[in-house]
């Protein structure tokens, strides 16, 4: 194994070892848990940055920092990890968000405390999230995908809001059902293709995966990924989970875990089953467009800030689905960019919503107001994140959705052009509605007069600056230099889409 491969292994599996160490801390060391979490996740991020620095940007379509070891020879499951231009940005996103969450925890430990358990669970979660983006063996992918389930269930159920029990079980069962179907599809892929290796299967698409059988396999993958994304009408776990989860849980759910679904489509479903993907693409596009419109309309009706952001995620993920459904380089690149951008922006929005609730003891839009007057820096950051989310050009939210719509204008050959143009228009209307509800939210929360009963409110503190500063900066940088993401992802996406003749 090369140095890069070791670094990648450390970035992904360091946190789980750290989780064991943190869980084993004696009770008197409860206060050491968060600093330990910061240290371990920073180490993982440093390893990830090393991988990114050593990455050969001249050939982003090649798998790099690759490790390929025998794991369970009896069933030909391999320990195969590596990064290419699509997985690298998502890997860095998950490593970064984890660090920021631990930093945030240093000043905002949710009730009922118990830092050791929370930090250990979040570190376990980190391994599952970042591992999913680098796994190149279907079974390894499945195991890491499942690894996020249990820690997030506990994070929501123990540290969540009043309705947490319901939200936690709903989250678990939805995702569990999806992943069982996904697993069956993986096993069917092996049955037809004779291998679990994603790179080998993508290079030589198995002949057996065509026709009705291929469609059935794709359906399994589709359901598994669509629940995670989540795609309308499989999204109903999301508003509950995001609203009830503690701030760090909402941030990681929105910023990273939703991306696992989109990544699954791009990494596994499209390249392995191109024929079935073409059959399903119009449906995926329609569901994506419905999600955009539905998410926006639901947002207009929300009174709870966190729930509003949660429903806005449904809409944003609709753009990701639409971009993928076009099966074009432009659309899929747009989807990758939109995922990274949504991770940065919505992660920041959930941080802000969490802190807002801590300050005002409420998330009801009707009871908030005048944040800009009381805490000008906080209000400005909220405004900044909200306008980034509604897609203001120059900030990160713009490019992904623009490219997704552009892809829908001219979808891959063989797809119904008229339909996709209708979807494009629907998406465009969705963008307008998105602008509408975010501006309405800003008007309610940041402008006007503070509620009379409001206690004196502190402005952004040092810990908050540390946790949010990098996000604010990256939102701007990615908005001005979209090449940072699109550069590496471009070639990698064209290789993935080689089977679609676009």
Partner 1 sequence: MTLASANAAIDWYFLSPEIVLTAAACVVLVLDLFLDQRRKHVAAFTGALGIAAALGLVLSLAGSSGRTLAGAFEIDTFALVFKGLLALVGLGVVAVSVDHFRASGYAQGEYYFLLLCALLGGFLVASARDLVTLFVSLELVTVPGFIMVALRKRDAKSNEGALKFFLFGVLSTAVMLYGMSLLYGVTGETLLGPVGEVLPSADRGLVVLAVFFVIVGLAFKAAAAPFHFWAPDAYEGAPAPVAAYLATISKLSGFIGLIVVLTAFVEVADLWRPFIALLAVASMTIGNLLALRQDNIIRLLAYSGIAQSGYVLLALALLQPPTDGGASLLTNGSPLVAAAFYLVIFVVMELGAFAAAIGFGRRYGSYFIADYAGLWRRSPLLAVALAAFLISLAGAPPLAGTWAKLFIFLAALDHGAYFLAGVMGVNTVIAAWYYLAIVRRMFFEEPETDVAVEPPRLIRATVVAAGAVLLVLFVYPVLVTYLLAPTAGFVLVGG
Give me the residues that bind partner 1 (CB under 8 A), please: 71-75, 124, 139, 142-143, 146-147, 149-150, 153-154, 157-158, 164-165, 168-169, 172-173, 176-177, 180-181, 183-184, 187-188, 190-191
Q: Please return the burial class of 456, using the count of CB atoms within 10 Å of its CB with bins 0-12, 13-18 and 19+.
A: exposed
Q: Whose Cβ is closer to partner 1: residue 196's or residue 378's?
A: 196
Closer residue to partner 1 in complex, CB, 165/483: 165
Asked if 14 contacts 44 with a C-beta cutoff of 8 angstroms, the reply is yes
CA 336 to chain CA centroid, Å, is: 10
Q: How many residues does the chain have?
A: 502
* Nearest alpha-carbon partner for 409 in 428, 390, 387: 428
CB nearer to partner 1: pick between 102 and 154: 154
Tokens of 173: 């069962």
Cβ 449 to partner 1, closest distance in Å? 39
Least distance in angstroms from the C-beta of 142 to partner 1: 8
Within the chain, how many helices (H) and strands (E) appear?
22, 2
Cβ-based nearer residue to partner 1, 187 or 457 = 187
CA pair distance 162, 316, nearest whole angstrom:
27
Distance of CA 272 to the CA centre of its chain: 22
C-alpha span between 216 and 205 (Å, rounded): 16
CB of 180 to partner 1, least distance (A): 5
Q: Judged by CB, which is closer to partner 1: 43, or 169?
A: 169
- For residues 467 and 197, give the distance between their C-alpha atoms in angstroms, rounded to a whole number: 38
Pairing of β 64-72 and β 77-83: antiparallel
Q: Tokens 């570190």 — which residue?
A: 123
* Chain center to CA of 343: 6
In the complex, minimum distance from the CB of residue 176 to partner 1, in angstroms, rounded to a whole number: 5
Nearer residue to partner 1 within complex by CB, 240 or 329: 240
Rounded least distance, CB 358 to partner 1, Å: 22
Closer to partner 1 by CB, 90 or 188: give it.
188
Residue 306 to residue 441: CA distance in whole angstroms: 11
Q: Measured from the CB atom, is 165 or 443 closer to partner 1?
A: 165
- CB 134, min distance to partner 1, A: 17
Least distance in Å: CB of 25 to partner 1? 12
The residue whose two tokens read 């929105």 is 254
Q: Give the helix ranges, DSSP H, for 58-210.
A: 87-107, 115-134, 138-147, 149-159, 164-193, 198-203
Smallest separation (angstroms) from partner 1 to the CB of 259:
20
In whole angstroms, the minimum distance from the beta carbon of 354 to partner 1 comes to: 20
Strand partners, 72: 77
Nearer to partner 1, 44 or 139 (CB): 139
Which C-beta is closer to partner 1: that of 86 or that of 135?
135
Please give the torsion angle defined by the CA atoms of residues 225, 228, 230 and 235, in that order, rounded to the nearest 10 degrees: 120
Q: Which is nearer to partner 1, 217 or 365 (CB)?
A: 217
Q: Which residues of 164-190 are buried (b: 16+ CB within 10 A; e: fewer)?
A: beebbebbbebbeebbebbbbbbbbbb
Least gap, CB of 191 to partner 1 (angstroms): 5
* Least distance CB 414 / partner 1 (angstroms): 29
Q: Is the distance from CB of 324 to CB of 262 less than 8 angstroms? A: yes
């Amino acid at each position: 194994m090369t140095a890069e491969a070791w670094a990648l292994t450390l970035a992904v599996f360091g946190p789980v070892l750290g989780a064991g160490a943190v869980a084993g801390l004696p009770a008197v060391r409860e206060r050491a848990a968060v600093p330990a979490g910061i240290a371990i996740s920073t180490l993982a991020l440093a390893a990830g940055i090393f991988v990114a620095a050593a990455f050969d940007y001249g050939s982003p379509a090649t798998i790099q920092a690759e490790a390929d070891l025998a794991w369970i020879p009896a069933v030909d499951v391999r320990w195969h990890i590596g990064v290419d231009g699509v997985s690298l940005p998502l890997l860095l996103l998950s490593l970064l968000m984890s660090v920021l969450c631990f930093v945030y925890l240093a000043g905002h430990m949710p009730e009922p405390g118990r830092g050791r358990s929370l930090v250990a669970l979040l570190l376990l979660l980190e391994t599952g999230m970042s591992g999913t983006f680098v796994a190149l063996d279907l079974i390894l992918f499945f195991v890491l995908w499942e690894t996020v389930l249990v820690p997030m269930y506990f994070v929501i159920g123990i540290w969540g809001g009043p309705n947490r029990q319901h939200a936690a079980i709903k989250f678990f069962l939805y995702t569990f059902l999806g992943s069982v179907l996904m697993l069956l599809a993986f096993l069917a892929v092996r049955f037809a293709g004779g291998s679990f290796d994603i790179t080998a299967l993508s290079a030589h698409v198995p002949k057996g995966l065509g026709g009705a059988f291929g469609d059935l396999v794709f359906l399994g993958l589709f359901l598994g990924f669509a629940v995670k994304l989540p795609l309308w009408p499989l999204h109903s776990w999301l508003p509950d989970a995001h609203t009830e989860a503690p701030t760090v849980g909402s941030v990681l759910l929105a910023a990273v875990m939703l991306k696992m679904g989109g990544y699954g489509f791009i990494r596994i479903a499209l390249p392995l089953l191109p024929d079935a993907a073409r059959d399903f693409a119009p449906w995926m596009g329609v569901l994506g467009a419905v999600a955009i419109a539905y998410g926006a309309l639901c947002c207009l009706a929300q009174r709870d800030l966190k729930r509003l952001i949660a429903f806005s995620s449904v809409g944003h993920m609709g753009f990701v689905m639409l971009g993928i459904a076009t099966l074009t380089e432009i659309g899929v690149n747009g989807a990758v960019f939109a995922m990274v951008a949504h991770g940065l922006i919505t992660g920041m929005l959930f941080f802000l919503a969490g802190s807002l609730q801590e300050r005002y003891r409420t998330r009801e839009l009707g009871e908030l107001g005048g944040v800009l007057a009381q805490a000008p820096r906080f209000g400005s950051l909220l405004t900044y994140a909200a306008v980034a989310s509604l897609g203001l050009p120059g900030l990160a939210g713009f490019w992904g959705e623009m490219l997704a719509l552009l892809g829908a204008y001219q979808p891959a050959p063989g797809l119904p052009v008229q339909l996709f143009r209708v979807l494009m228009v629907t998406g465009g209307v969705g963008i307008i509605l998105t602008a509408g509800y975010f501006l309405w939210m800003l008007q309610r929360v940041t402008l006007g007069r503070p509620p009379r009963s409001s206690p004196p409110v502190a402005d952004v503190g040092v810990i908050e600056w540390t946790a949010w500063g990098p996000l604010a900066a990256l939102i701007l940088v990615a908005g001005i230099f979209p090449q940072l993401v699109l550069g590496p992802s471009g070639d990698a996406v064209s290789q993935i889409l080689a089977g679609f003749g676009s």
